[in-house]
């Protein structure tokens, strides 16, 4: 059903490297890692274990996608339960597509007065961008392909695949 685009070994190696780079950038500061549900939960679980030193884990929920197309409107489905004022934030996204979700979240979080705001995304599809956003770390840059696995879904399924995959045959076209 799926062809592997990025296998488990490549993901693990990249996540390990990101963890080290992220800790270097934050110095000794405690990092408030904020995962965007649901797509980031698998990546975040691995990423926080690759970041040495003080880390706190929080989550916020958004939804914008139905099937393979964004509905455009970003809805917060689960609010943060913590105060982010004065904290060093690292937002964890599964994938940056149009940029609308990140743009909305960045505005919402920066309005709450954090000490700093940085973003890590597992995947980036820059060719799809409609809103310019800054992403500090990217796991992998990919073409305009719909991907599933490692947390990413198609109508809520396939999040549990350990690899990042595309529908069978997509890569041969």
The token duo for 130 is: 């409609």
Site for ligand IMP in 100-129 (CB under 6 A): 100-102
Closer residue to Mg ion in complex, CB, 81/157: 157
**Which residue number, 8 or 153, has a Cβ lying nearer to Mg ion?**
153
* Spatial contact of 80 and 51, defined as CB atoms under 8 Å apart: no
Number of chain residues interacting with ligand IMP (CB under 6 A):
18
Residue 7 neighbours by CB distance under 10 Å: 12
- What three-state secondary structure class fits 89? strand
Site stretch for ligand IMP (CB under 6 A), options 17-25, 79-87, 95-103, 112-120: 95-103
Q: Hey, is 128 helix, strand or coil?
A: helix
Q: Minimum distance from CB of 112 to ligand IMP (Å)? A: 20
28 flagged as catalytic:
no
Question: Rounded CA gap, 68 and 82, in Å?
Answer: 32
Binding flag, residue 65, Mg ion (CB under 5 A): yes
Among 97, 106, 163, 165, binds ligand IMP (CB under 6 A): 97
Closest C-alpha among 170, 127, 131, 130 to residue 148: 170
64 makes contact with ligand IMP (CB under 6 A): yes
Q: How far apart are CA 144 and CA 57, in angstroms?
A: 30
The total number of residues shown for the chain amounts to: 173
| Footprint on this chain of Mg ion (rule: CB under 5 A) | 39, 65, 153
- By the criterion CB under 6 A, which residues form the site for ligand IMP? 39, 64-65, 70, 93-102, 146-148, 152
């Amino acid at each position: 059903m799926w062809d592997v685009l990025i296998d488990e070994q490549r993901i693990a190696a990249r996540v390990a490297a990101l963890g080290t780079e992220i800790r270097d950038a934050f110095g000794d500061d405690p990092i408030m890692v904020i995962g965007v549900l649901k797509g980031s939960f698998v990546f975040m679980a691995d990423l926080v274990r690759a970041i040495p030193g003080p880390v706190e884990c929080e989550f916020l929920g958004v939804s914008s996608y139905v099937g393979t197309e964004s509905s455009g409107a970003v809805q917060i489905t689960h609010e943060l339960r913590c105060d982010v004022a004065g904290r060093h934030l690292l937002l964890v996204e599964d994938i940056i597509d149009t940029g609308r979700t990140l743009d909305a979240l960045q505005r919402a979080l920066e309005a709450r007065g954090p000490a700093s705001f940085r973003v890590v995304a597992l995947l980036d599809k820059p060719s799809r961008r409609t809103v310019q956003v800054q992403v500090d770390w990217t796991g992998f840059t990919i073409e305009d392909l719909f991907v599933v696995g490692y947390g990413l879904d198609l109508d809520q399924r396939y999040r549990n695949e350990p690899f990042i995959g595309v529908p069978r045959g997509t890569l041969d076209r």
